[in-house]
Amino acid sequence: MSTDELRHNWDISEVQALFDQPFNDLLFQAQSIHRAHFDANSIQISTLLSIKTGRCSEDCGYCSQSAHHNTDLEVEALLPLDEVVKAAKKAKAEGADRFCMGAAWSRPNKRDFPQVLAMIKAIKSLDMESCVTLGMLDKEQVAQLKEAGLDYYNHNLDTSPEFYGNVISTRTFQDRLDTLNHVQQAGINVCSGGILGMGEERKDRCSLLVQLANMKQHPDSVPINMLVQVEGTPLFGADEIEPLEFIRTVAVARIMMPCSVVRLSAGREEMSDEMQAMCFFAGANSVFYGERLLTTEGASAQADQKLFANLGISTSLEKKSGHAEKASVSRTELSA
C-alpha cells in the first residue's frame, strides 16, 4: 500500500464495527496489517525531556502543569542549552533515536523561541531525530522550526471533538487542527494522538481515531496515552479504561493508519508486561523510554530491557514500503 492508497474517509459506524469484532479477529486483522508494513518484532524508542515545567495558562483537565490546578509540581523555567544537550547525549547513549522536548506553554513566546530553535539544532548535531511539543503555533513559528531542522512536532488532539469540552475550556479542538495543518503544510512530520481513560466512551475513542485518520495525511506518529492520574487535577479519580478496551483501541488505530508509527505512550508504568505485549501485538511499535516522562515517572529502563528481551523485540524499527514516516529511523540497540 502506498501512502496515496491510505484511507481518509472513515465514518464512525465503520470504526465502531472494527471495535465490535471478536477480540481475536480484531487482533489478527491488526497484526496482519502491522506485518504488511513493519517488521513485527522491532519498535522505535523516543526519550522525553520537559524543557519548561509548570505554570501553563491552559486548563487541560489531565495536566499536572496547568496553573489552574493545584498540583504538587516543581516549576522550572526554560532549561539552559547545555542541560538539554547533556540529557540528549544520555538518551542517545541509552539507545533513543529521537529526543522529544516538551514545554508547558499555550504557545511559544518571542523571548524563549530562539532558545528552542538552538536546542533543535543541537539535537540534530548529535545525529538524533528531534521532536518538540510547544503548544499552538502560527505559520511564522512553524517556518522557523522547519528552518532549524525539526523532524517532528507533537500536538495531540487528545480526545473526540464531542468530549473535548469536558477536558479543556481554554482552547478549542479547531485550534489544535489549525496548528496541525500549519505543521503538515510546512513538511514537518506530525506526531498526534490522544489520551484514553479520561471518562470518555467508546464512541469518543472512535471519533478521535476518525479525526486522526481523516486528516489530509495520517500523522506520522500516533501516541496513545493512558491517563496518568495526577492528584490535584480535575481528572484525578476518573474511571480507568479497561485494559482490553485500551488494547482494542491500539488495534483499531493500527488498522486505520497502517503506515503510521503507533506509540504506546504515557501510562506504561501502570501496565502489566502482558498488557504491553498485547499492545505490541495489536500494532504498537514505539515507546517513550526512560524513567521520566515530562513530570511523572516513566516505566523503569531495567523493566523495559527485560520485557523487550523477553518478547524478542529489537529497538531498530524496520519499515517496509510507502510509509507515512519520512525521516529515517536509525538502528540502535539499547545499551545494557
Task: List the catalytic residues.
Answer: 56, 60, 63, 100, 131, 191, 263
Cα gap 267→261, rounded to integer Å: 18
**Member of 106, 214, 314, 316 binding ligand SF4 (CB under 6 A):** 106
State yes or no: residue 228 binds ligand DTB (CB under 6 A). yes
Q: With binding defined as CB under 6 A, does residue 166 bind ligand SF4?
A: no
Which of 54, 95, 193, 290 lies at the binding interface for ligand DTB (CB under 6 A)?
A: 193
CB 100 to ligand DTB: min, Å: 6
Q: How many angstroms separate the CA atoms of 335 and 97, rounded?
A: 12
How far apart CA 120 and CA 16 sit, in angstroms, is: 40
Q: Does 135 bind ligand DTB (CB under 6 A)?
A: no
Question: From ligand SF4, ligand SAM, ligand DTB, none, which one binds at residue 222 (CB under 5 to 8 Å depending on kind)?
Answer: none
If binding is defined by CB under 6 A, does position 225 make contact with ligand DTB? yes
Closest-CA residue to 68 (of 230, 267, 296, 292)? 230
Residue 54's contacts (CB-CB under 8 Å, 6 or more residues apart) are 64, 65, 67, 73, 74, 75, 76, 104, 295
Q: Give the Cβ contact number of residue 110 at 10 Å.
A: 7
Number of residues that bind ligand SF4 (CB under 6 A): 9
- The nearest distance, CB 156 to ligand SF4, in angstroms, is 8
Among 29, 47, 133, 332, binds ligand DTB (CB under 6 A): 133
**Based on CB atoms, which residue is closest to ligand SF4, 58 or 129?**
58
Cβ distance to ligand DTB smaller for residue 27 or 222: 222
Q: Are 47 and 286 in contact (CB under 8 A)?
A: no
What is the residue type of 241?
I
Q: How far is CA 271 from CA 35, 44, 169, 198, 306, in A?
A: 24, 19, 30, 16, 15
Q: Interface with ligand DTB includes 286 (CB under 6 A)?
A: no
Identity of residue 192 = S
Taking CB under 6 A as the criterion, the residue among 95, 135, 219, 223 binding ligand SF4 is 135
227 binds, among ligand SAM, ligand SF4, ligand DTB, none (CB under 5 to 8 A by kind): ligand SAM
Smallest separation, CB 243 to ligand SAM (Å): 16
How far apart CA 30 and CA 105 sit, in angstroms, is: 36
What is the closest distance, in whole angstroms, from the C-beta atom of residue 244 to ligand SF4 in the complex?
27
Task: Note whether 60 binds ligand SF4 by CB under 6 A.
Answer: yes
**What does the buried/exposed string (b/e) look like for 9-26 if buried means 16 or more CB atoms within 10 Å of the residue's CB?**
ebeeeebeebbeeeeeeb
Task: Choose between 148 and 230: whose C-beta lies nearer to ligand SF4.
Answer: 230
- Which one among 96, 293, 307, 324 touches ligand DTB, defined by CB under 6 A? 293
Closer CB to ligand SAM, 100 or 251, in the complex: 100
Do 293 and 228 contact (CB within 8 A), yes or no? yes
Q: Which three cell numbers stand for residue 3?
A: 501512502
Question: Which of the ranges 11-19, 58-66, 123-131, 206-214 carries the binding residues for ligand SF4, by CB under 6 A?
Answer: 58-66
Q: Are strands 152-154 and 261-264 parallel, antiparallel or unpaired?
A: unpaired
Q: Which residues bind ligand DTB (CB under 6 A)?
A: 48, 64, 102, 133, 154, 156, 193, 223, 225, 228, 265-266, 293-296
